[in-house]
Structure 1
Amino acid sequence: MEIRKWEDLPEDCLANVFRRVGMESLLLDVPFVCKSWYRATLNPFCWERLDFYNIMFAPKDYLFYVIFDDDGVRMVHRLMVEYRIKEFSVDSMIKFLANRSSGNCIVLDLPANGCREEVFRFVIDKCPALRCLSFSCNLFKTDHLSIIQELIEKCKHLEFLNILDFTVSNLKEIVAKIGRNCQHIRGLGAPFAYIGEEEAAAIVTNLPNINYLVLTHSRIDRKYLVEILQGCKRLFHLDVSNCSGCKIDDKLLELASHIHTFKYEV
């Protein structure tokens, strides 16, 4: 029986394997094995998932990096050594990989402490097929609401949107926009949000079939949590950990009994 070598596999087969190994291996391991593997890593389908969450901007000049955990430290150090980079630019890295994906990126995690508005607009234009997006508005200079609305209009295939460090006061407008433009939406993350009467009504009215809702560290009164529990019958995962304004009791737990994962702090 003939045994085929990995390097002799067709490029599309290699790309189908390599797209599962993660961004770090695609940049720092796979390309250096052999020429055929290097060529395979240039296939846009290898870059469906881009994760910059742990590589964070330094707000003063954007040329140096601040690292969120040890994985980020290792990856950036290896990049600088392997590619002989003297000054690491998160801006350039994000743009480079967004371009390499050629519109095939479906999962994008931007730096946890934010990215520049210009970079954000760039990747949204380059990645129209996004299904899952996580980002922070922390470094945006323009009105946050207008930028998010622009994103929602362009990325109509979104299934999960996570807005880190939620500082936008117009949640009801954002939810309404999502409901009108993103027919495939299944999850919303809005930590640190304020959930009042209008916000709760907007969630129930515009996202009644939502499966995942993350409202950690938010302000939400009991009656509005009840409204969401009663109005969103298809919730599979609800996270209200570290929220203020509402104490979880037996009655609320009974209302939430249909939810597979209900995270809270008593």
Structure 2
Amino acid sequence: MGDETEFRHWDELIPDALGLIFGHLPLEEVLTVVPRVCKAWNRAVTGPYCWQEIDIELWSNRCHEPHLLDRMLQMLITRSSGSFRKLAVTGLQNDSIFSFIAQHACSLKILRVPRSDLSDLIVEEVAEKLSALTFLDLSYCCKLGSRAIEAIGKHCKSLVEFCRNMHPLDVLASVSSHDDEAYAIASSMPKLRRLEIAYLRVSTEGVLKILSSCPCLEFLELRGCWDVQLDSKFFEEKFPDLKVFGPSVMGFYEIMKDMEVCSDSDESEYLAWEFLDGEMGEFYEDEFDFGWDDGFYAGLNTDFEPDLWPQSP
């Protein structure tokens, strides 16, 4: 009797519950280990239940082959059946994959695509399909400008957090102002509660326009915005409830002391792994398969293609 009560039928859990459990595992384990356990777990992984949140930011940071990144996104988004609520990826290299994301983004709330090579034109074309967004990160996307920001603000009426940080080296040689982006934010994103524009070439007038047009603002990141001539006394008097960092550059430990730092991902757990393109027997019906340990899976009919993966650190 004791043995029967302690035995748990993990394969009989409903797919939604399995998806919640697998969501706490590293991405590579979900794609390579879990599907081999049993058919029920394979169905959960190949269905939408595990892909409500798609976070491949760490993997994409190490992937230097744009076509592999595109294939990974296409596979995971297709598995989600359009139900994914969060997507975090870095380094998109073409407009077509961003268009693919938007075409399936009816439930998307959180979108992080920093360091992506996107154009104003594609953002203008697909912004309407991103209307459910509440959080957007377009940091370090050097080809984007005020047209893209205005299109996002026009169509994404629920947007409350926007990140548009730049790398100092990307703006060092620039002589043009980014005030047009500041004015686009001010005119189209009145509901913002959090705004990050570190190292953007904005002026005092641009920031004042944002402050007067975004009354709900609770946090403003201005580090490295050297043209902004507003001191802490001004903010304390005019906006006492607003947390502001910058324009002077604060150290990491100063920031940690003054604010809570939240992270969506744990970079310390990243492991390089390998991308497969082959059959895995009855458990694998997807167009793309994954694996990394040839010895452990020696009994399976797996064709490894290590050249398709970024090199191990």
**TM-score scaled to structure 1, two decimals?**
0.75
Equivalent-residue separation in structure 2 for 1:118 and 1:178 (angstroms)? 18
Count residues with an aligned counterpart.
232
Deviation track 1:90-120 (CA, whole Å, cap 9, x = no partner) reads: 2221211111111011211222x33222222
8 Å CA contact 2:178, 2:202 repeated in 1: yes
Alignment partner of 1:258 is 2:221: no
**Correspondence for 2:95 among 102, 107, 117:** 117
Equivalent-residue separation in structure 2 for 1:153 and 1:146 (angstroms)? 13
Alignment partner of 1:216 is 2:194: no
- Residue of structure 1 equivalent to 2:14: 10
How do residues 159-238 of structure 1 correspond to structure 2 at under 5 angstroms? Answer: 159-168=134-143, 170-171=145-146, 173-192=147-166, 194-196=177-179, 198-238=180-220
8 Å CA contact 1:98, 1:127 repeated in 2: no
Equivalent-residue separation in structure 1 for 2:197 and 2:39 (angstroms)? 47
Equivalent-residue separation in structure 2 for 1:120 and 1:248 (angstroms)? 37
Alignment partner of 1:91 is 2:73: no
- Residue of structure 2 equivalent to 1:69: none
**Correspondence for 1:106 among 61, 85, 106:** 85
Given the superposition, is the C-alpha separation of residues 178 and 93 from structure 1 closer, same or farther in structure 2, using an over 3 Å criterion? Answer: closer
**Correspondence for 2:111 among 129, 133, 157:** 133
User: Secondary structure of the equivalent of 1:242?
Assistant: coil
Q: What displacement does 1:176 show?
A: 3.3
User: Secondary structure of the equivalent of 2:136?
Assistant: strand
**Correspondence for 2:52 among 48, 55, 70:** 48
Equivalent-residue separation in structure 1 for 2:116 and 2:20 (angstroms)? 35
Q: What displacement does 1:248 show?
A: 4.7
| Identical residues among aligned pairs (%) | 25
Letter in 1 for 2:85: I
Alignment partner of 1:25 is 2:29: yes
Structure 2 residue runs without a partner (length 5+): 172-176, 249-313
Equivalent-residue separation in structure 2 for 1:169 and 1:42 (angstroms)? 35
Structure with higher strand content: 1
Q: What displacement does 1:210 show?
A: 0.7
Given the superposition, is the C-alpha separation of residues 156 and 106 from structure 1 closer, same or farther in structure 2, using an over 3 Å criterion? Answer: same
How do residues 241-256 of structure 1 correspond to structure 2 at under 5 angstroms? Answer: 241-254=223-236, 255-256=238-239
Given the superposition, is the C-alpha separation of residues 124 and 179 from structure 1 closer, same or farther in structure 2, using an over 3 Å criterion? Answer: closer
8 Å CA contact 2:117, 2:142 repeated in 1: no
User: Secondary structure of the equivalent of 1:164?
Assistant: coil
Q: What displacement does 1:222 show?
A: 1.9
User: Secondary structure of the equivalent of 2:57?
Assistant: coil
Q: Quote the RMSD (CA, aligned, Å).
A: 2.7
Equivalent-residue separation in structure 2 for 1:225 and 1:187 (angstroms)? 16
**TM-score scaled to structure 2, two decimals?**
0.65
User: Secondary structure of the equivalent of 1:161?
Assistant: strand
Which is further off, 16-25 or 92-101? 16-25
Runs of 4+ in 1 over 6 A off after TM superposition: none
Larger RCO, structures 1/2 (Cα 8 Å, 6+ apart): 2
Structure 1 residue runs without a partner (length 5+): 64-88
Name the larger-Rg structure.
2
User: Secondary structure of the equivalent of 1:262?
Assistant: strand
